[in-house]
A and B are shown apart, each in its own frame.
Chain A
């Protein structure tokens, strides 16, 4: 290719630009454009892959409204999102604040909090099945004396109990907040020290400084973490699948939206219905993201000056 001498400066650049971008142009056609159109079409058909799709009009979408499992999976996902996202954000922020204090050993503590978040997903799921084991697991081994002391009876059955399976998965998700913590920590190190000093000079308490200096500076990161958390909750799949062997049990208590979608497509081979579920998922994510963005205009502060 080095044959193209000295003329490259004057040549029309478009063919060259397109040539370099060829992989993504092909990729967009093959793995985005065509599948999006096909998925939209499938969502109006009955399709099991073995036989060609049969148009059924809006039957898939109207069936959704009457599908108990759809509503159940939506409720499970909402429950998970409503608890795991705020809790995870608060824990990550708390850890980041602690790590930002001027004490010894911070590099080590930072590693300790971060390492769980890089444990491969399947490995951490398998591990936590055993940690949550009601009889022999570490968690109940720690809780049992506490429960006995407080006369609460037996500790939770976790994955053996529909009421405790979701809290178990939420607890697991808190273990992996290391990445979010790093985002906050990076943000904290950008907060100008002069602002804290000025506020302190004016007699501001620690709490006041946190509320009026630190939080505004971190608000873009918080918005980012909330949006990613929301998208992640609707796409939450691997741990729920591995911990419950794909069943979403006990009694559908961990049947999250994406798990239901996967089972519809690849266990029941209802491809048309699965595509309808996927489009509803897309609309939910877009709608909720717009809502978060709109509501954020009031409290997100951009240090650069744009928006805000």
Chain B
């Protein structure tokens, strides 16, 4: 999305009105985040004060070290990171292979398979949730990371779709030239197509990372041992068990939110492309 604004210039009065509306609405959207940060800088007494104070006085930074020590935060972070890295790796590997097979190789049945894959997107997660749980339970995998990682290595319909669309736009002459030079199909995938597909790999990687970082339902179903919790699961359990420590709670919430916002500032283009392409909501 370009930064230059299209459209006709506004009259001065209309421009002022627009600025006013934009400022007011910005305030409305930002107040919750400001509240989050200021609350994390208050003592519990200040948070529970009535009426609430908007700017904490004095500022307290204690909530951060204390909150991160109160719950096994670093353990949660490690667990989440492990899950994110493996899920992203599995998704990128499996989806790119499949997308390659669906776009760069001509074979009978290819389009049928593609439509079957698209069709599975209509199926709500809830329909398959119970049998997949039963399957992992019978394999003795409940309360391990396996049910949260393994499925990512088997492709995911929407990401396959995105990658296939991208691969289709790569000129076929490149593949032909590589073939004449004696490259195998694997070489073409690895050395021609993948290096040209960084934008779509970045989009899929980012969104599968976010999905894992944010996932709550999966860990809630499969993880029981508190030391295996992810950040999302750990934060929710902290919130429901220790509602009486709001300062620490807000500090931990801030710590979990900030990396995502920082990531957004570094990868704005990928974020926005991904959103407009997919309609995935945060």
Contact stretch, chosen from A57-65, A69-77, A128-136: A128-136
Partner of B155, one of A23, A49, A120, A228: A23
A109 near B: Cβ within 8 Å? yes
Residues of chain B contacted by A285 (CB below 8 angstroms): 122, 124
Please name the residue on chain B nearest to A189 by beta carbon. Answer: B6
A112 and B26 form a contact (CB under 8 A) = yes
Please name the residue on chain B nearest to A34 by beta carbon. Answer: B131
B59 near A: Cβ within 8 Å? no
A286 near B: Cβ within 8 Å? yes
Number of chain A residues close to chain B: CB under 8 A: 111
Closest CB in chain B relative to A297 CB, distance in Å: 19
A86 near B: Cβ within 8 Å? no
Residues of chain B contacted by A158 (CB below 8 angstroms): none
B126 near A: Cβ within 8 Å? yes
Question: How far is A178 from B264 in the complex, measured between Cα atoms in Å?
Answer: 13
Closest CB in chain B relative to A134 CB, distance in Å: 11
A235 and B130 form a contact (CB under 8 A) = no
Contact stretch, chosen from A161-169, A236-244, A298-306: A236-244
Contacts known (A5-B184, A23-B97, A281-B124); A39 close to B30, Cβ less than 8 A: no
Contact stretch, chosen from B42-50, B67-75, B197-205: B42-50
Residues of chain B contacted by A217 (CB below 8 angstroms): none
A131 and B232 form a contact (CB under 8 A) = no
A114-158 vs B, Cβ < 8 Å mask (1 yes, 0 no) = 111111111111111111000111100100100000000000000
Residues of chain A contacted by B82 (CB below 8 angstroms): none
Residues of chain A contacted by B26 (CB below 8 angstroms): 109, 112-113
Residues of chain A contacted by B1 (CB below 8 angstroms): 182, 185-186, 189
B66 near A: Cβ within 8 Å? no
Partner of A28, one of B39, B101, B120, B282: B120
A98 and B131 form a contact (CB under 8 A) = no
Partner of B179, one of A8, A138, A271: A8
Question: How far is A14 from B25 in the complex, measured between Cα atoms in Å?
Answer: 56
Question: How far is A281 from B267 in the complex, measured between Cα atoms in Å?
Answer: 36
Residues of chain A contacted by B134 (CB below 8 angstroms): 38, 49, 271
Residues of chain B contacted by A213 (CB below 8 angstroms): none
Please name the residue on chain B nearest to A128 by beta carbon. Answer: B32
Of residues 198 to 243 in B, which have CB atoms within 8 Å of A's CB atoms? Answer: 210, 213-214, 216-217, 220-221, 231-233, 235-236, 239-240
A293 near B: Cβ within 8 Å? no
A261 near B: Cβ within 8 Å? yes
Please name the residue on chain A nearest to B31 by beta carbon. Answer: A138
A14 and B108 form a contact (CB under 8 A) = yes
Contacts known (A121-B216, A141-B52); A100 close to B6, Cβ less than 8 A: yes
Question: How far is A36 from B127 in the complex, measured between Cα atoms in Å?
Answer: 7
Contacts known (A103-B15, A127-B36); A278 close to B216, Cβ less than 8 A: no
Contacts known (A24-B98, A131-B35, A242-B216); A138 close to B52, Cβ less than 8 A: yes
B177-190 vs A, Cβ < 8 Å mask (1 yes, 0 no) = 00100111111010
Residues of chain B contacted by A126 (CB below 8 angstroms): 235-236, 239, 249, 253
A16-57 vs B, Cβ < 8 Å mask (1 yes, 0 no) = 111111111111101110111011001000000100000000
Partner of B29, one of A105, A112, A197, A245: A112
Question: How far is A14 from B232 in the complex, measured between Cα atoms in Å?
Answer: 43
A130 and B246 form a contact (CB under 8 A) = yes
B91-110 vs A, Cβ < 8 Å mask (1 yes, 0 no) = 00010011011100111111
A107 near B: Cβ within 8 Å? yes
B55 near A: Cβ within 8 Å? no
Please name the residue on chain B nearest to A261 by beta carbon. Answer: B126
Closest CB in chain B relative to A47 CB, distance in Å: 8
Residues of chain B contacted by A3 (CB below 8 angstroms): 184
Partner of A16, one of B5, B107, B132, B272: B107
A21 and B113 form a contact (CB under 8 A) = yes
A136 and B52 form a contact (CB under 8 A) = yes
B137 near A: Cβ within 8 Å? yes
B260 near A: Cβ within 8 Å? yes
Contacts known (A5-B182, A127-B36, A224-B279); A118 close to B7, Cβ less than 8 A: no
Residues of chain A contacted by B213 (CB below 8 angstroms): 120
Closest CB in chain B relative to A115 CB, distance in Å: 6
Question: How far is A105 from B20 in the complex, measured between Cα atoms in Å?
Answer: 12
Closest CB in chain A relative to B48 CB, distance in Å: 6
Residues of chain A contacted by B216 (CB below 8 angstroms): 121-122, 237-238, 241-242
A255 near B: Cβ within 8 Å? no
A35 and B217 form a contact (CB under 8 A) = no
Residues of chain A contacted by B49 (CB below 8 angstroms): 136
Closest CB in chain A relative to B74 CB, distance in Å: 18
Partner of B113, one of A25, A128, A235: A25
Question: How far is A265 from B1 in the complex, measured between Cα atoms in Å?
Answer: 43
